[in-house]
Amino acid sequence: MNEGSRFSTYENGFIWLKNAGSAIPVYNVKEAQFPLLLNKQRNLMKLFQNDVGLLTNQYADGSALSILSGNVNINYGAICENFVAQELLSHGFGQLYYFNSKKLGELDFLIETGDGNVIPIEVKSGKNYEQHKAMDNVLKVRQYNIKDAYVFCNDNVAIKNNVIYLPVYMVSLLQRNRYSIGKYEIGLTGLSAKNVR
């Protein structure tokens, strides 16, 4: 888009790409507060591709081969963000949102759980994944009442304060109605020594 262009000029094209299944629109919200739909700004959005392979193909010549060969000098940020957008959409988070504020900063995604909680998500492809100033700022806003936040990164599972760090592939475990990861109880009351063979 050209600087100074009106959103209405391109809106039909964006809608067409979404309806064709080629793109995933992620709308900006003014406040990181439930329900996100009431804070949605229709004229501000990010547009992700619905296929990481197509995204990678648009990169410079040789990029796809470098990625497949595990070249560590490539910035995987856009690829990881696109992957997370695809996974969230396919696991029941129908409309995706992001947050951007001059005062607080930008969060990659905001999702709502089935029980009415808002969860911020950051996607970090580098080694400094524990640095997330915007997320820290949003977590301090009392009126948002945010209990948990996720950072998807290239490291192992860790929890620090109310920020949960997970490997990027674990975004596939998030479900709209059950966002909690790893909190399962197994009832063993029916087992006795004579019933176990």
Distance CA 129, CA 168 (A): 12
Closest CA to 171 of 186, 185, 157: 157
191 domain residue, yes or no: no
pLDDT digits (tens, 9 = 90+) for 117-140: 899 999 988 788 778 888 899 999
Give the span between the Cα atoms of 62 and 76, in whole angstroms. 15
Reduced to 3 states (helix: H, G, I; strand: E, B; else coil), residue 151 is strand
- Residue 196 — pLDDT band, cuts 50, 70, 90? very low
Q: Is residue 143 part of a domain?
A: yes
What is the spatial distance between Cα 115 and Cα 179, in angstroms, rounded to a whole number? 9
- Sequence letter at residue 49: Q
**Domain limits at 78?**
7-173
Query: 61 vs 35, 64, 65, 80, 118, CA distance in Å?
Result: 43, 8, 9, 20, 40
Q: In the structure encoding, which two tokens stand for residue 179, read together?
A: 């966002």
Q: Which residue has the tokens 């507060």?
A: 33
User: For residue range 60-103, what is the model confidence (pLDDT) as tens digits?
Assistant: 565 655 656 665 555 566 778 888 998 888 887 878 999 998 99
The answer to whether residue 2 is domain-embedded is: no
| 193 part of a folded domain | no
Strand ordering across the sheet containing 163-167: 40-49, 23-29, 96-101, 105-112, 118-123, 149-153, 163-167, 158-160
Separation CA 21–CA 83 (nearest Å):
15
- Determine the pLDDT at residue 183: 47
Read off the pLDDT band of 112 (50, 70, 90): confident
Q: Hey, what amino acid is at 152?
A: F
> What 3-state DSSP class applies to 123?
strand
Residue 197 lies in a domain: no
> 154 forms bridges with which residues in the sheet?
none
* Percent of the chain whose pLDDT exceeds 90: 20
Say what the pTM is: 0.75
Q: Is residue 92 part of a domain?
A: yes
Q: Which amino acid is located at 46 in the chain?
A: K
Residue 106, SS3 per DSSP: strand
Does residue 179 carry a pLDDT above 50?
no
For residue 30, the model assigns a pLDDT of 92
DSSP 124-139: --SS-TT--HHHHHHH
186 inside domain: no
**Which tens digit of pLDDT belongs to each residue from 9-20?**
767 777 777 766
144 lies in some domain: yes
Number of domains in the chain: 1
